[in-house]
Structure 1
Amino acid sequence: MKLEILWMQNQKYINQLLKQQCSCQFILIQENIMKDYKIVLEHYFSFEQLILLVEFKVHFIHFQWKDLYFQEKEQIKLIVQIKVYQNQLKYFIGLSDINVGMFFMLIFVQFLTYQYAVSYGLLLSTVIPKIEVATALVPALVIPFMILGGFFVNQDNIPYIFYPFTYLSMFKYGFEASVINEFDDVNYECMPGNPCKPIEMLSITLTKWECRYILIGLAVGIRMFAYLALHLISSPEKPKLKSPESMQIQNNKI
């Protein structure tokens, strides 16, 4: 939140309403990602990982049970996490309400962003054995994606070396899709009698559907990596990363 306030104070060339609307769009995306990602990481998978691996090791549960377990975990608060108050904010802040389609499209973008955040949280929960380590790595694993998501730094000003973070950022595509949904069909005036195009000012080159397709692709791709990692660490024949026995020994020593 402090970063958003600092950004608003430094952008003197954009009028107050535009700053509020862009900030609102990014705050919705940021809150959606950070909360859902941490819920999956801290509460829904890491605490049950040892039990899951022991069951696979001892009882040789069929791979289909792994599939069911993974599918159950990836649907955590699937629709509810869209959050009613986020939808209310759309009208409290004064975002566009030209047609009802824009409202439902914002919900859809939030849903896709949620899916990406859950996928990322599942992947980290699978490959990082200790919740303390995963939690400590949150700033290093999430903040670069947030800073380079197109809100704090204009896309044209991002150095080439940081492009991988930009192109994989869940903040970038969620924010851009929300901004396009807000300003694409609106005649906007940054100053009285001086029309402007907020989408071009933010150097957004993708279309709204391209952003959504990319969110879907990245969410599915990262979830597949998490699924494969779950198979690897739970395989009785070839345990990877850490075996259940070694994790139990470490816990007993502690």
Structure 2
Amino acid sequence: MYMNPADFALDTVTVDFRSPSAKESSTKRIYHILDEWESRFDTSTVEKIVESNHRQYPKLVAKRMGNSWIAEFLILTSRSFKDANRNYLVMISGVFQTLFIFLLICFTFFQLDYSQSSITSRLGVLFFLTANLLFSTIMPVIIIFVLERAIVIRERYSSSYYISSYYFAKAFSILPFRLAMVSIFSLGIYYIIGLNPLASCYFIFWGIFLDLSFAAQALSLLIGAAVPDVQVAQAAAPAVIVVFFIYGGYFANLANVSWILRWIEYISIIRYGFMALVQNEFSTLVFECSNGSYAPPGEDCQGGFSTGQQIIAYFNMNQFSISTCCLIILGIGCVFHLLGYLMLRSTTKPSLRLI
């Protein structure tokens, strides 16, 4: 089993993280060794040597980490990029998944006109795009911390780096691929569907998508840091997404929701993203009446909507402005990142330190 005495010694004084029972038994064994050592030997000599080293090399003792925070961040970011390159099949599968959704939406909502029937199609595709962005961002990212947790615990145990540098390096390394995918997807889908033709509306649409992608990534890292294994992660993520779907402002009239659960709408990034997209899309549009003609200026269609402003007011999508919605999404994303960092710090904290 062991090739030399050093292997046996290292295995004897190392915590076994392979299972909860192995971790418990190995921890008890190490504490037993420490207790026996303290009871059989005079530790005063060792303590004097350690204290002497502390006085002689105070800087080395005070600084536990070998690199600065920035250096750790850059090294860990580079390592994350290399890991992503090794797992290129994950990126390829993400590209094909995005391509499939792209083609599905294009063939379903190709070149929407300005009839009354197109109103529900525009609302539906905007909500679907928001929900799909959340789902496609969370599911691939959520298992990152779960799969690397054992490595992080071991590296934290040896004080290899600050957990904050690891968290933000991992978050930063994910951003370029996600932002590139979102940008390409939004550019193609916007004009093929036939959304608001104003160039300013497209750039606002693109900015809302980038904002949502940032918040969705933060939520995925928070869930990934909180769950113990892949199975729980795959069960928890859809549950959270479904809750945000329901309180996204499309399926349910939030005014009729019980006060017990009404608070969920205030943390649903889908709600704010959908509200911003609806305002951006409908604010300048004019629609045909049921008879195929446009209503005269100042008049309304009988039994329908003549302007996009009427649609925004009817569906109560004017509670917050576009800029306010984007700031709220950004703020929620920052809170998710903070909670994700604190959760990762808690779940990867070494249970035993010998030094």
Query: Normalising by the residue count of structure 2, what TM-score does the alignment of the two structures yield?
Result: 0.58
User: What is residue 158 of structure 1 aligned with on the other side?
Assistant: 257
What's the offset of the Cα at 1:189?
A: 5.0
User: What is residue 127 of structure 2 aligned with on the other side?
Assistant: 26
AA at the equivalent of 1:200: A
What's the offset of the Cα at 1:231?
A: 2.0
User: Counterpart of 1:109 in 2: which secondary structure?
Assistant: helix
Give a deviation string over 1:113-144, Cα, whole Å, max 9, x none.
11111111111111111110111123322201
- Within 2, Cα distance between the matches of 1:140 and 1:79? 25
- Within 1, Cα distance between the matches of 2:225 and 2:269? 19
Contact map agreement 2:201 2:280 (CA 8 A) in 1: yes
User: Counterpart of 1:55 in 2: which secondary structure?
Assistant: helix
User: What is residue 216 of structure 1 aligned with on the other side?
Assistant: 330
Contact map agreement 1:148 1:158 (CA 8 A) in 2: no
- Within 1, Cα distance between the matches of 2:288 and 2:321? 21
Structure number with higher relative contact order (C-alpha < 8 Å, ≥ 6 residues apart): 1
Gaps of 5+ in 1: 2-13, 244-254
Q: Which of 150, 174, 192 is the matching residue for 1:50?
A: 150
Give a deviation string over 1:87-109, Cα, whole Å, max 9, x none.
222122221112x1211111111
Q: Which of 137, 147, 150 is the matching residue for 1:36?
A: 137
- Within 1, Cα distance between the matches of 2:335 and 2:252? 26
Runs of 4+ in 1 over 6 A off after TM superposition: none
Contact map agreement 1:120 1:223 (CA 8 A) in 2: yes
User: Counterpart of 1:95 in 2: which secondary structure?
Assistant: coil
Contact map agreement 2:116 2:287 (CA 8 A) in 1: no
User: Counterpart of 1:149 in 2: which secondary structure?
Assistant: coil
User: What's the C-alpha RMSD, in Å, of the aligned pairs?
Assistant: 2.2
Aligned length: 222
Structure number with bigger Rg: 2
What's the offset of the Cα at 1:157?
A: 3.1
User: Counterpart of 1:160 in 2: which secondary structure?
Assistant: coil
Q: Which of 86, 111, 120 is the matching residue for 2:186?
A: 86
User: What is residue 220 of structure 2 aligned with on the other side?
Assistant: 121
Query: Normalising by the residue count of structure 1, what TM-score does the alignment of the two structures yield?
Result: 0.80
Between the aligned residues of both structures, percent identity stands at: 24
What's the offset of the Cα at 1:170?
A: 1.5
What's the offset of the Cα at 1:36?
A: 0.6
AA at the equivalent of 2:314: M
CA separation of 1:141 and 1:50: change in aligned 2, threshold 3 A:
same
AA at the equivalent of 1:104: F
Contact map agreement 1:53 1:234 (CA 8 A) in 2: yes
- Within 1, Cα distance between the matches of 2:206 and 2:320? 19
Contact map agreement 1:156 1:203 (CA 8 A) in 2: no
Q: Which of 138, 144, 165 is the matching residue for 2:243?
A: 144
- Within 1, Cα distance between the matches of 2:188 and 2:170? 28
- Within 1, Cα distance between the matches of 2:190 and 2:254? 25
User: Counterpart of 2:185 in 1: which secondary structure?
Assistant: helix
AA at the equivalent of 1:31: N
Contact map agreement 1:155 1:203 (CA 8 A) in 2: no
Q: Which of 311, 320, 339 is the matching residue for 1:198?
A: 311
User: What is residue 72 of structure 1 aligned with on the other side?
Assistant: 169
CA separation of 1:155 and 1:188: change in aligned 2, threshold 3 A:
farther
- Within 2, Cα distance between the matches of 1:72 and 1:106? 28
Give a deviation string over 1:191-213, Cα, whole Å, max 9, x none.
44222411112112111111101
Give a deviation string over 1:165-197, Cα, whole Å, max 9, x none.
211111101111111111123344564422241
User: What is residue 47 of structure 2 aligned with on the other side?
Assistant: none
User: Counterpart of 2:260 in 1: which secondary structure?
Assistant: helix
User: What is residue 246 of structure 1 aligned with on the other side?
Assistant: none
Contact map agreement 2:215 2:269 (CA 8 A) in 1: yes
